[in-house]
């Protein structure tokens, strides 16, 4: 999983969306640096990061991610907005604190 503070939603590849059997809620409009597109939007029961950071009923979109990307997920705002997020580039530490 890669933290993407600019992403509105948790994002997964289409094959992961299908493997998790995520039900389609609607199509979501996405605006990226290079285009506008629509993507399937669903919801998962829970997303957990680490051992103590969980969020229920998280919106998830499905888009193809670059093959060279070393992850199947992008951790976006539909999860992150539930926490105070602290990122220390020097120590490569991400800290999620409940609000």
Tell me the C-alpha to C-alpha distance, in Å, between residue 69 and each of 18, 58, 73. 19, 22, 10
Against a cut of 0.85, is the pTM above it? yes
pLDDT at residue 8, as a whole number = 94
Tell me the C-alpha to C-alpha distance, in Å, between residue 58 and each of 34, 78, 92. 26, 6, 26
Cα angle value 22/28/31 (rounded, 5°):
130
DSSP 5-20: TT-SSEEE-HHHHHHT
What domain count does the chain have? 1
Task: State the residue range of the domain holding 81.
Answer: 2-98
Taking Cα atoms as reference points, which of 48, 43, 1, 47 lies closest to residue 22?
43
CA of residue 83 relative to chain centroid, distance: 14
Question: Tens of pLDDT along 9-68?
Answer: 999 999 999 999 999 999 999 887 788 989 999 999 999 998 889 999 999 999 998 889
CATH number at residue 91: 2.40.70.10
Two tokens, residue 95: 């800290």
């Amino acid at each position: 999983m890669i933290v993407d503070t600019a992403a509105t939603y948790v994002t997964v590849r289409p094959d992961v969306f299908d493997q998790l059997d995520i039900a389609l809620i609607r199509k979501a409009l996405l605006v990226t640096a290079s285009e506008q597109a629509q993507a399937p939007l669903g919801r998962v029961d829970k997303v957990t990061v680490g051992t103590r950071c969980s969020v229920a009923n998280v919106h998830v979109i499905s888009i193809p991610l670059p093959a060279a990307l070393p992850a199947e997920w992008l951790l976006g705002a539909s999860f992150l907005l539930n926490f105070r997020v602290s990122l220390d580039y020097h120590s490569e530490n991400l800290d999620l604190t409940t609000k």
